Structure 1
Amino acid sequence: MNVPKSEWPSSLDDKELEELDTYLRRHGGDGDLMLDGVHGLLSAVAVGPLEVKPEEWLHEVLHDAFDDEDEGNRVLALLAKLNDSITAELDVDAYEPILGEVDTDEGPMLSAAGWCEGFSRGIDMRAALWESRLAEDPELMQMLGPVMALAVDEGVLQADAEFEKLSDEEYDECLGQLPEVLVGVGQYWQDRPPTEAEITAMAKPREGEEHPPRQRAGHWVH
């Protein structure tokens, strides 16, 4: 779908992204999601099998009490706008992942590590549904291939077998496929929604719910 930019959905502008990024960095600790991670989490929620309400995913994003009511209202408004923009951007082929930037010997480079970490945590919010379907339907696993490749390459996920690092070209190719992947996964769950048996199984407690802290560096790049 080719939609004129004038008709694209309202997304956070650079100033708003900087404001939200600054807040998350000021209040985040080891293992907490930064802006790229929050975008990954909300992206997984947007295309997932069942609705995840804000009161659920906000626990993954906010960890400190607000300094005052105005600050709280502002941060919540920015997060709501970020959340709403994802589905709207996917609908008009305007989605771009928010990525981190890391320093290397060759200079700053984009990194999908934070986005992938957030996406993984978004899946974890409906883990039983994702796991049962991934185990039964290789099509969904194949569809998520570019995300999995990036996540393994960045150490967010552990591969069952020895995994060769992606080349720069392969890495960029996987990044470029993310919008298509998200659209496809969202359509998959619309066409094949969770069964009653899967939803019932979701209520059972799972082992190992906690996420180990991970060191992260870099800043947001849109």
Structure 2
Amino acid sequence: MSASDTPPPQPLLDDAALDRLDDFLDSDRVGADALDLIGAHGFLVALAVAPRDVDPAIWIAELFHGEPAFADAAEQEAILALLEQLRCNAIQVLEGGGLPELPFEPVLDGIAPAETLVGDWCAGFMEGVFLDEAAWFREDEATAATLLLPFMLLSGLFDNEPEMAELAGDTARLEALVVQLPDLVLDLYLHYRVPPETPKPKPRRKSPAGRGRR
């Protein structure tokens, strides 16, 4: 498939829904440690990719880092429904082999990832990984580390680790990774959520009648 044949990334929520989430997560009714819209988007995409489902009560508490001051039960239901819808839409898009649309321009312009929306999104994604880290690395730690390396590099969360410093300084590589992020998300989904096809057993060759008898 050529680049021109590649389907464009698909939005996981419409603009009105994203605006409503943005307004709520940016309000003083959530704690200072709560994820903002960009971080929450990355966090929920990670949950869509994750090797196993996480109980909603656990990930909701992690996303908000406390109990939001919802105006009423109706607002609480609406906000939580939008968050769950984003996660489910990500699963649906990835299950169909599509690419998720990410809420930022895929460029760094020479700025350190940690100071960009790209870094905020990847940090949110890694928060989703940390929520059930054992499951992500249980089956094949080396492959998991390779697949997650771009998200780790772009998150800025590991900049102080010596083994990451050289990679983090390769600006050309980082710029390329940003462009590839939707494809990298799909690669992770296929690795964790789509089991490899089991080869069909070969039919046993039958011996001609009479052969093998004495």
TM-score, length basis structure 2: 0.70
| Cα deviation, residue 34, structure 1 | 0.6
Report the counterpart of residue 130 of structure 1 in structure 2. 136
Match of 2:83 among 76, 79, 94: 79
| Pair 99,9 (structure 1): closer, same or farther in 2 beyond 3 Å | closer
Alpha carbon RMSD of aligned pairs, Å? 3.2
Provide structure 2 residue ranges, at least 5 long, that are not aligned to the other structure. 197-214
Query: How far is 1:149 from its partner?
Result: 1.8
TM-superposed deviation, 1:12? 1.7
Assess if the C-alpha contact under 8 Å between 1:146 and 1:177 holds in 2. Answer: no
Alignment of 1:194-209 (within 5 A): none
Secondary structure of 1:148's partner? helix
Partner of 2:200: none
The residue identity in structure 1 corresponding to 2:186 is V
More contact order relative to length (CA 8 Å, sep ≥ 6) = 1
Bigger Rg, which one? 2
**Residue 179 of structure 1, aligned match among 178, 182, 198:** 182
Q: Is contact 1:37-1:118 (8 Å) kept?
A: yes
Q: Cα 1:113–1:168, aligned 2, differ >3 Å: closer, same or farther?
A: same
CA apart distance, 1:3? 8.5
Deviations 1:19-46 (A, max 9, x none): 1101001133333211111111111111
Q: Which residue matches 2:101?
A: 96
SS at match of 1:112: helix
The structure in which a higher percent of residues are strand is 1
Change (3 A) 1:182 1:94: closer
Residue of structure 2 aligned with 1:161, choices 157, 163, 173: 163
**Kindly, what percent of the aligned residue pairs are identical?**
27
Give deviations 1:159-211, integer Å, cap 9, x for gaps: 2436144455433311222222222222222438xxxxxxxxxxxxxxxxxxx
Shift of 1:58: 0.9
Partner in structure 1 of residue 35 of structure 2: 33
Aligned length: 182
TM-score (norm 1): 0.67
Runs (4 or more) in structure 1 with deviation over 6 Å come to: 1-5
- 2:12 aligned partner, one-letter code: S
How far 1:105 moved relative to its partner?
11
CA contact (8 A) 1:45 1:51 kept: yes
Instruction: Give 1:6-25 correspondences, 5 Å limit.
Output: 11-25=12-26
Matched position secondary structure for 1:44: helix
- Structure 2 counterpart of 1:117, from 103, 108, 123: 123
Q: Is the 8 A contact 1:100 1:114 kept in 2?
A: no
Deviations 1:41-60 (A, max 9, x none): 11111111111132221112
